[in-house]
Structure 1
Amino acid sequence: MMAFLWRGALLLSLVAAISVYADMKLDCRPDFVTLVWTDSRSQTDLSLFRLGNCFPTSFTAREVVFSVDLNDCNFRRMVTGAHLIYSNDLIYTSSDSHILPFTHPVVCTYERPKDWYPLIYDPVFNTYGQGDLVFHIGLMNDDFSGPAESTTFPLGSFVPIMASVEQKTHQPLLLLLEECVAAATAELWPESYLYPIITNKGCLVDSKASRSKFEPRQKSSEIRLSLQAFRFELGKEVFIHCKLVAWDPIGLDNTKKACHYVKDHGWELLDNPTYSNLCDCCDSSCKSRRTRSLASGKLGIVQKAVLGPLTITDIKF
């Protein structure tokens, strides 16, 4: 009992201390939330803030901003009588001994619409289990709002692909595509003819010769790829073989990244272009290190997945 009271007192002291040097403004709109956190401490790295599993929309030396949809960021929704309550946590994670990690509650309360009902959405994905993580990968429609209505894509059109990981009780993880290749079979063999899409630990090499690109990330647990349909096994079944990586967001380096090539600019890091130097090795060799499992409390885990079949058709003139 005394230990519980001591922890409660410590938590109240931490919240009181935070309120001295920081200020949070929360604007709850019908469909989205804007949160502005202003911090006066020079040691605070505002890029390390997360709202649920979402990265900051923008940040400066003293201010971090989140402008997010209520359906994103793992907002928790609760209906109580006449009210609809959305709750989340603003999380700061840091290894700096001067700034302790902390969590701050974020709550938006609305009047419950008379015609409100729970959304039901069950996309058709390929699903893979790994411990208590569940990985998904699937073909999407043009705006990534639902599953693709067709698995046939004309040469030069875009193939929208989305992968995600259900994190359950794990700390927030960042999903990456470490490697993707196209093949004519659902299994890879030594003699398989392959078309490289992503290689070198997260480099979208196909983007150097096409308009393929990673789309802006909506959630840390998702990654979206607009892949321009390429000339490979035209009119036949094609399978895309990928390695999905769920990784600690603060453990990124040149072997754990998502990079695409921007014409007249060069390689760019998806999650923070300021650190695009992590992509410098994409034209040479990004040195690997052994992946450590989440079960041992380390950084992340890799899951193999196969997407398909899909068909790429030639353009008829």
Structure 2
Amino acid sequence: MMASFWQGALLLSLAAAISVHADMELDCRPDHVSLMWTESRSQADTSLVRLGNCLPTSVTAREAVFNVDFNECNFRRLVSGDQLVYTNDLTYESSPDSHVQSFTHPVVCAFERPKDWYPLIYDPVFNTYGQGDLVFHMGLMNDDFSGPATSTVFSLGSFIPIMASVEQNRHQPLLLLLEECVAATTPELQPESNLYPIITNKGCLVDSKTSRSKFEDRQKSSEIHLSLQAFRFALGEEVFIHCKLVAWDPSGLDNTKKACHYDKEHGWELLDNPAYSNLCDCCESSCKSRKMRSTASGKHGEAQTAVLGPITITD
């Protein structure tokens, strides 16, 4: 199966190379791409050729060569039917005093989608003082959270099932919380980024006030399930969901460490114990932060940022 998979990938990459431009040689590999641009214009400066936001790996007077991974250079990933497609743009920006015309050419690597392929789960690892490693996961799930999603495209108003978890290993029991989440059109947040708030104010699912978004009942304290209703933000564009995950002492909940969503009949409710939903009262104002205690005095938990995506919401 794997042999036929890579044969299909190679044929698709060669087809892309022929159709894009006669002066471009493109070789798509499982996790990286090799591209050689041969410039036919004698006055062109090959050092000005860019693949996405990447400079050439090497240049000569007539050639610009790129050897890069798909997680570099702002490659875009799309899962469509039985194909896994990576796209980018090869560009040339002429200097102001040059008579050589600028250009933009698409770069496409299309693979046959493996039957066991699913969107990557964000899997950072970091050390905690004196206890070993905590491993966080965040990923898209299928409708009943029984397995990973098979698509990253969602229609407006449908639900985007999101699961986050922490591996406890040798730790005492931990409660996984989503402290902050925003949607953006970029994989990295910038001061000028256009944002859509999802969770703010230390665990308040503010999107639930105007939608059917909600936290699902927990199956494990170390996991949290979020049914996020697809929103009218950047329709048709790539969307990235940026979250701050917190692994916390289950007995240490307060108005800064909580998971709250809005119920149209009952108002703000605390996911883990509705009897203490008064911890969510500050969701309408400001939930003041409390500094984590130092390790010497008994630290309660650890935090980690994560990025999920890209996903696409269609009208």
- TM-score, normalising length: structure 1: 0.59
Is residue 292–residue 299 contact of structure 2 (8 Å, CA) maintained in 1? no
Of the candidates 125, 131, 143, which is equivalent to residue 129 of structure 1? 125
What is the 5 A alignment of 1:286-305? 286-292=287-293, 297-305=298-306
1:226 matched residue in structure 2:
227
Q: Which amino acid aligns with 1:205?
A: V
* SS, match of residue 238 in structure 1: strand
Kindly tell me: are residues 296 and 304 of structure 1, through their superposed partners in 2, closer, same or farther at Cα, counting changes over 3 Å? farther
1:155 matched residue in structure 2:
156
* SS, match of residue 223 in structure 1: strand
Q: Which amino acid aligns with 1:158?
A: F
2:255 matched residue in structure 1:
254
Q: Which amino acid aligns with 1:270?
A: L
Q: CA deviation at 1:298?
A: 1.1
Kindly tell me: are residues 237 and 294 of structure 1, through their superposed partners in 2, closer, same or farther at Cα, counting changes over 3 Å? farther
Q: CA deviation at 1:201?
A: 0.2
Q: CA RMSD in A?
A: 1.9
* SS, match of residue 126 in structure 1: coil
Kindly tell me: are residues 296 and 235 of structure 1, through their superposed partners in 2, closer, same or farther at Cα, counting changes over 3 Å? farther
2:14 matched residue in structure 1:
none
Return the index of the structure with the highest Cα Rg. 2
Distance 2:203 2:296 in 1: 23
* SS, match of residue 303 in structure 2: strand
2:185 matched residue in structure 1:
184
Is residue 294–residue 301 contact of structure 1 (8 Å, CA) maintained in 2? no
Kindly tell me: are residues 198 and 275 of structure 1, through their superposed partners in 2, closer, same or farther at Cα, counting changes over 3 Å? same
Q: CA deviation at 1:297?
A: 4.0
Is residue 156–residue 229 contact of structure 1 (8 Å, CA) maintained in 2? yes
Return 5+ residue gaps in structure 2 as ranges.
Answer: 1-117, 128-132
Task: Name the % identity.
Answer: 80
Return 5+ residue gaps in structure 1 as ranges.
Answer: 1-121
Is residue 238–residue 308 contact of structure 1 (8 Å, CA) maintained in 2? yes
What is the 5 A alignment of 1:137-286? 137-286=138-287
Q: CA deviation at 1:264?
A: 1.9
Residues 251-272 of structure 1 deviation map (CA, whole Å, 9 limit, x = unaligned) = 1100000000000210000000
Kindly tell me: are residues 174 and 154 of structure 1, through their superposed partners in 2, closer, same or farther at Cα, counting changes over 3 Å? same
- TM-score, normalising length: structure 2: 0.60
Distance 1:124 1:293 in 2: 34
Is residue 140–residue 148 contact of structure 2 (8 Å, CA) maintained in 1? yes
Distance 1:235 1:296 in 2: 49
Q: CA deviation at 1:287?
A: 0.5
Equivalenced residue count is 195
Distance 2:148 2:215 in 1: 18
Q: Which amino acid aligns with 2:123?
A: T
Q: CA deviation at 1:149?
A: 0.6
Is residue 177–residue 202 contact of structure 1 (8 Å, CA) maintained in 2? yes
Q: Which amino acid aligns with 1:274?
A: A
Distance 2:155 2:232 in 1: 10
Is residue 293–residue 301 contact of structure 1 (8 Å, CA) maintained in 2? no
Residues 197-223 of structure 1 deviation map (CA, whole Å, 9 limit, x = unaligned) = 000000000000000000000000000
Is residue 135–residue 164 contact of structure 1 (8 Å, CA) maintained in 2? yes
* SS, match of residue 311 in structure 1: strand
Q: CA deviation at 1:291?
A: 2.8
Q: CA deviation at 1:307?
A: 0.3
